[in-house]
Amino acid sequence: MKKSKTMKKLSAALLAVMLAATSAVPAFSDDTGPLETGPLDSSAFEDKKNVTPDDGNYDVGTDFPVTFDLRDLNGKSYVTPVRSQGLFGTCWAFGTCAAAETSVLYELANDQNLDVDPTEFVFSPLHLAWFTHTPLPADSIYPSQAGEGGTFMNFDGSDTPNQLATGGMTQLTTSAFAMGMGPLYEDFAPYQNKSGNRVSKDGKDICYAVDGEEWSCEEDLRFLSTFELEDANNLPAPVVTKEENGAMVFDRTNFEQANSVIKSELLKGRGIAIGYFADSPSMESLTKEGKFISADWAQYTYQYERANHCVCIVGWDDNYSKEHFLQGEDPDTGVDRTPPADGAWIVKNSWGAEDNEFPDYGTFGVNGSGYFYLSYYDMSISDASSFNFYTDDADEEERYHIIDQYDLMPVSALQGLSDPIPQLMSNIFDVRCDEDLRAVSVETVYPDTEVTYRVYKLNEGAVLPTDGELKKEVTETYAYAGFHRTNFEEPVRFAEGDRYSIVVSQKAGNEYILPINCGLNKAGAEMCVNNPAFVAQLKAIGAKSMGYSVGVINRGESFFAAQNENGEYDWYDWVDISEGIKIAVPEYAAQADITDFDNVPVKGYASPVIEDPEDSSEPDESSQPEDSSEPEDSNVPEDSSQPEESSQPEESSAAETSKPTDDNKGGNPNTGAAAIGFAAVTVLAAAITVTRKRSK
């Protein structure tokens, strides 16, 4: 296969992925609602493979208890208090933070034997929402990626900061947490405006999007996190909506399996963030029975509605009677409003609770608790995600953390290409201080994906990702689509000035997979904003802005390779992909002009080497790869060519390394004296320095 043919094939295939990323702008946001239509028609690309976690064959069993509730598991709660998002479109941040809080609480108690009070353990949705929709500044710790990230365009042309009214998806949280952008304790970025002003409603103070109020986060908080993300699992939906002959139909083929997967994750102590169609556009307008929710706070969406709200599942009840839901037929459509059988999820909302004080007061839910029941059969459940965090170092007083990465553009959905021909992706990183590489990560777009990681210490002047010594090879199979990190049993040590690469191969079934991160860019957003009909549609549901993506790819950072007929690999610099599309398929050059791509989603996690005078031992640099077996299809990189128009990699995004000072240490007021203390302080190299203390 010639290189030009490979590039043309890749470019043509990328068009389908690119179109999927720009043909719709979905968002969970009670304030902004779902943005269902875009400027493009995806029907032109019928060859695009539908990437969905619903295709997996999950072996999780079917033997589950009739009821399960993480609020009361053997007399202990792993669920944090109900909070209120106010009237901002931040439900996605609250729902995913709630899921993350529960997951960490369960891990700390059951894996680390730490006693943590859930009433004092809260992550910051403001930190998550603000930085997800704020691009990297010029003085970022990742200077080569300055300007990259998510942002927005206001309909009125103003520069009013509307980060909290832009909405989001559960996948945005995965992107943020994966890059070390949270989760961060609430105390560092409280959900409150700078002035402290409050708005009263019905005699109670609430958070409100008041014009002129300042809600920003300090930039030096961006890359601070309390715990490191290890897995973000995309779970299957119980009901899949499909279009057939111009009508929406509901497919329950995977109903039992999907429910079993969600239950199995709950049994592991993980909250489940989901999207669903909320009966009310905001927390203030739902005070009684609605179209889909009953007076018993039992929700069943019985017709096609796109998810517009994000919440957190914390349990289930198989015996929850269908009689609690609305009864009879819809007077307008004649559709039965009652679920076909008993059973419901126990769901934590973010619209406050009656027992709470400012800013988390609300009247929603069963007995004003902030919780409601969601039928297993609800037609709108989507984007279910669970999170798993690294907690092995939770009781360590100090932790130093470097993330080598280039993919800093949050994305709202996973995209990918599949091909029977072996293909590879890689990032090359500069080492700015002596470090031990202890983990690597990647995104997978299909369930049951086998991933092989190879780490190379590159030769001096190397251009290709495989031009060096293979230091580590590890193969893992991930059951779920999503983000996954693999920790090494023994780290790989690199010295300051070294360069290394992470080369990744993904295989699902008989297909090799290439994950792609891309999204609608500024030009695409301008096209939408300049369309009066489109803007009118969004304004009608309360939207004030149009979100879009900014990707920054520099030559020498990311690479792609496909195997040729000789079993060797032809390498391409990822920066050429967008231009390659225009050359390969000129009639769709305009499509490429409104799309921003990001680097390949491959990261390295390291710790700076801090010499202990009492321990002179070092990791063995000459150790053989952990998995030295030959992978299938002779998928061992053999380079036959240089990347087209290649050059030496630009400077890495690492900054100068510094040690934390004593001023950086302190207890965390969120956790209490008997729990885990935390202070996040010094930015190290290309990521985070975190100092923790735990009271004994």
CA–CA dist 271, 361 (Å, integer) = 22
Q: Which of 12-26, 272-286, 444-458 has the lowest mean pLDDT?
A: 12-26
Instruction: State which amino acid sits at residue 203.
Output: G
- The mean predicted confidence, pLDDT, of the chain is 80
Rounded to the nearest 10°, the torsion over CA 283, 284, 288, 290 is -60
Cα angle 161-483-685, degrees, rounded to a multiple of 5: 65
Q: Is the pLDDT of residue 53 over 70?
A: no
When pLDDT is cut at 50, 70 and 90, the band that residue 443 belongs to is very high
687 near 126, Cβ under 8 Å?
A: no
Higher local confidence (pLDDT), 476 or 659:
476
CA–CA dist 210, 161 (Å, integer) = 12
The DSSP secondary-structure symbol of 509 reads T
564 near 176, Cβ under 8 Å?
A: no
For range 210-238, the mean pLDDT: 90
CA–CA dist 369, 366 (Å, integer) = 6
When pLDDT is cut at 50, 70 and 90, the band that residue 162 belongs to is confident
Q: Which of 2-11, 122-131, 593-602 has the lowest mean pLDDT?
A: 2-11
Over residues 570-627, the pLDDT tens digits come to 999 998 876 676 566 565 567 778 888 899 999 999 999 987 655 544 554 444 444 4
503 near 456, Cβ under 8 Å?
A: yes
CA–CA dist 349, 98 (Å, integer) = 9
Element (H, E) at 602: strand 602-608
When pLDDT is cut at 50, 70 and 90, the band that residue 486 belongs to is very high
Over residues 413-437, the pLDDT tens digits come to 778 888 999 999 999 999 999 999 9
CA–CA dist 114, 477 (Å, integer) = 30
pTM of the model: 0.84
When pLDDT is cut at 50, 70 and 90, the band that residue 670 belongs to is very low
For the chain, the straight-line distance linking the first and the last C-alpha, in angstroms and rounded, comes to 63
Cα angle 497-503-504, degrees, rounded to a multiple of 5: 150
Q: By C-alpha distance, which of 249, 384, 366 is closest to 304?
A: 249
For range 198-214, the mean pLDDT: 62
Of 121-125, 194-198, 516-520, 645-649, where does the model show the most confidence?
A: 121-125
Q: By C-alpha distance, which of 362, 369, 377 is closest to 316?
A: 377
pLDDT of residue 487: 96
512 near 422, Cβ under 8 Å?
A: yes
Q: Is the pLDDT of residue 566 over 70?
A: yes
Q: Is the dihedral of CA 287, 292, 297, 299 positive or negative?
A: negative
pLDDT of residue 189: 95
DSSP, residue by residue, 73-91: BTTB---PPP-B-TTSS-H
For the chain, the structural domain boundaries read 394-519+549-634
